[in-house]
Structure 1
């Protein structure tokens, strides 16, 4: 196998969900059930291997996990995908994973899945803010979970040392988490997290410790952390060589502002803020060029919302779409971008006009009222394009649109037909 990442899941649904996240990050993920089907995943960057052990006896589950490692190794990162409510043989399978890997390998246990309401605080795993043992999962007829503390759940299947990284350390930033990780040699490190930004902080801290101490990590998580850890470790063929996505944000709604923050936290998007007084396309493009040259994966220009209670002058509001669109046209003419994301109907219309495009070929609906496809006609014919209204979607809507574009860009680079 020539895979870079192995994801071992205990059920098909969860395995596929994690594979989809790697695919959205621009990697080719192939999901198979059973070690005997691994050969069909040839050419994949990420092999997602479902071993179907959610309801198995612990020792049987351990054997399957170790067989999975042998079938796909060597890879750069092994991820043990666990249920978002920690059902199954969490500790036993993670313990077996460390037995199968090189001595000194350590497990980062980060089960938080903020977008699904799963968080970890004070070492306790919560579902929509409720401790795990107080939720219906505690009464699951097949795999009840009787504890809320992640370390206690792990302890049911391992005798190895377990340490915890509390939320206040995570909120202190990458260096603080890295210092915490380096201060102990415990094989299992459970980390608190309540936001996607926390997950990224932990991933970057682990990568820092890897560089400084050559620590080998495995991920024990429910999906989102594994993808961030792989990115932080620089894993993936050419992923970081992909041309960036240009994001044009003209909407000043609170919904859009939250979505932009999520883009910054999850995909490390870098935006140039445009004030109502700074409506000069050339100047905006020049400022964005500096961001492009920093190598950011998502480069954006956005309108700064007015202060609470302040009204936007109608004349300025009319100019915003045209000026942002003109700046986008300059950037696309002077730099290589792989895709374009526009939020706000007037922004999307003005941008296609500024690019001398005849229209927009719709390929798919990323989420309700958010569509993706490619530009038709003009100098940027075929450029992947995604757009949505300023009031459309939840906090992760912009991330979903941009991740879709990244996936399309990666597939095109590989010559995969769209």
Structure 2
């Protein structure tokens, strides 16, 4: 039986890829410890997803984390390794693909970065999002991790000397040809057909995003009983830690449909001491009342359009962009925990991997079991905090249609799921 380790570089990526296997009934677990001891993984686990948290690390550090994970998993009896990369090619792509090869003592690995169902395709070795080369898309303007190139070989080559071999649609890998083999794909069928051509041995090491992971679940025949959709609280709290324009548009559409929308001020999202203040206690009480009354609520770290309060606040205190990224996500995670402590009764939607990880750390949860996708890239899971099970939806900042939050709220508000309903 195949046992697969999937290594993701952030939390939402770990979940939106792991759920491709969980949705087929494969026993799947997501862990958030970069130095995880793989001997702890029980034999019942078919797919272990490691959130290695390497997205923002220097390339050398990311390489070390991934290589150690590969070596540890293979020593513990895992038969297959999948390096999950960001579907917009952010992060340490070249360093981490090299780490997989070195950790497995292998010469080649297939890399299929396309995610066709989100209109992210690879054509002629160039990665496109919404028909635009990725470096010219919104991901080229990301304030934390902008993508500077659209050529996949160029992105990989910036961090490794390994040869990069391009394959157009329908091309088979050259036998025993060393290097990182990049495959074009524009449809899910393209991904599946490439996987079939690679064959069993060619899939022991592979890489890509959630797109090829879905094909891999089929190719490796990892399956079981389909997951059952739990009863979800008919209320939605959106905890937004993403600055991606896709998420900003989703919040705007939700606000147009009546979602109360709270934008945190700089001290509220950057000063840990504020969490202990009377002002915070009063704000949390007010937000809980609003969430209970309206059943739809957004807690947002973004400044209003045209406002630079956070940048000015950071500049006055000498805070770096990295300080902002870490500090804001940690603060938002603790704020959501305070809402839970205050009795929040809602399904939580977290946007952005940093936000989700901060919340899990705040409630001291290190393992999650993904259930299913409620929408493309919107993954349902749950966790237990203080004896109560809470349901959470995770979403990468760049995923989803503009009306996603509104549609999710409508589906939760219906509340008519049958007991035997499945995802």
| TM-score with structure 1 setting the length | 0.51
Task: State how far apart, in whole Å, the 1-side matches of 2:214 and 2:179 are.
Answer: 21
Q: Mapping of 1:247-266 within 5 angstroms?
A: none
User: What residue in structure 1 maps to residue 122 of structure 2?
Assistant: 120
* Offset from partner CA, 1:293-323 (integer Å, 9 cap, x none): xxxxxxxxxxxxxxxxxxxxxxxxxxxxxxx
Task: State how far apart, in whole Å, the 2-side matches of 1:143 and 1:85 are.
Answer: 11
Q: Mapping of 1:168-187 within 5 angstroms?
A: 170=170, 177=171, 180-183=172-175, 185-187=177-179
Shift of 1:193: 0.6
Asked if 2 retains the 8 angstrom alpha-carbon contact of 1:107 and 1:218, the reply is yes
Task: State how far apart, in whole Å, the 1-side matches of 2:127 and 2:8 are.
Answer: 19
* Change in 2 beyond 3 A, CA 1:4/1:227: farther
3-state secondary structure, aligned to 2:36: helix
Shift of 1:206: 0.6
User: What residue in structure 1 maps to residue 27 of structure 2?
Assistant: 28
Shift of 1:84: 0.8
User: What residue in structure 1 maps to residue 83 of structure 2?
Assistant: 80
Asked if 2 retains the 8 angstrom alpha-carbon contact of 1:164 and 1:189, the reply is yes
* Change in 2 beyond 3 A, CA 1:367/1:189: closer
Asked if 1 retains the 8 angstrom alpha-carbon contact of 2:37 and 2:72, the reply is no
3-state secondary structure, aligned to 1:8: strand
Asked if 2 retains the 8 angstrom alpha-carbon contact of 1:38 and 1:49, the reply is no
Asked if 2 retains the 8 angstrom alpha-carbon contact of 1:80 and 1:220, the reply is yes
Shift of 1:229: 2.8
Q: Mapping of 1:355-374 within 5 angstroms?
A: none
Task: State how far apart, in whole Å, the 1-side matches of 2:183 and 2:84 are.
Answer: 16
Asked if 2 retains the 8 angstrom alpha-carbon contact of 1:91 and 1:157, the reply is yes
* Change in 2 beyond 3 A, CA 1:103/1:75: same
Deviates more, 1:181-190 or 1:198-207: 181-190
Asked if 2 retains the 8 angstrom alpha-carbon contact of 1:4 and 1:235, the reply is no
Task: State how far apart, in whole Å, the 1-side matches of 2:67 and 2:6 are.
Answer: 12
Aligned length: 232
Of 95, 103, 106, the match for 1:92: 95
Task: State how far apart, in whole Å, the 1-side matches of 2:202 and 2:375 are.
Answer: 39
Deviates more, 1:72-81 or 1:145-154: 72-81
Task: State how far apart, in whole Å, the 1-side matches of 2:142 and 2:221 are.
Answer: 37
**Rg larger in structure:** 1
Gaps of 5+ in 2: 227-371, 377-403, 405-419
Q: Which has the higher contact order (CA 8 A, sep 6+)?
A: 2
* Change in 2 beyond 3 A, CA 1:131/1:189: same
Q: Mapping of 1:16-415 within 5 angstroms?
A: 16-34=15-33, 35-36=35-36, 38=38, 41-42=41-42, 43-73=44-74, 74-104=77-107, 106-167=108-169, 170=170, 177=171, 180-183=172-175, 185-207=177-199, 210=200, 214-215=201-202, 217-232=204-219, 234-236=220-222, 239=223
Task: State how far apart, in whole Å, the 2-side matches of 1:17 and 1:67 are.
Answer: 23
Asked if 2 retains the 8 angstrom alpha-carbon contact of 1:76 and 1:235, the reply is no
Asked if 2 retains the 8 angstrom alpha-carbon contact of 1:9 and 1:51, the reply is yes
3-state secondary structure, aligned to 2:173: helix
Task: State how far apart, in whole Å, the 1-side matches of 2:179 and 2:204 are.
Answer: 10
Task: State how far apart, in whole Å, the 2-side matches of 1:66 and 1:235 are.
Answer: 26
CA RMSD of aligned residues (A): 3.1
Shift of 1:141: 2.1
3-state secondary structure, aligned to 1:88: coil
User: What residue in structure 2 maps to residue 310 of structure 1?
Assistant: none
* Offset from partner CA, 1:163-187 (integer Å, 9 cap, x none): 11113xx2xxxxxx3xx31356032
Asked if 2 retains the 8 angstrom alpha-carbon contact of 1:59 and 1:92, the reply is yes
Runs of 4+ in 1 over 6 A off after TM superposition: none
* Change in 2 beyond 3 A, CA 1:62/1:366: closer
3-state secondary structure, aligned to 1:75: coil
Task: State how far apart, in whole Å, the 2-side matches of 1:122 and 1:187 are.
Answer: 18
Asked if 2 retains the 8 angstrom alpha-carbon contact of 1:107 and 1:220, the reply is yes
3-state secondary structure, aligned to 2:181: strand
Task: State how far apart, in whole Å, the 1-side matches of 2:149 and 2:204 are.
Answer: 26
Asked if 1 retains the 8 angstrom alpha-carbon contact of 2:79 and 2:204, the reply is no
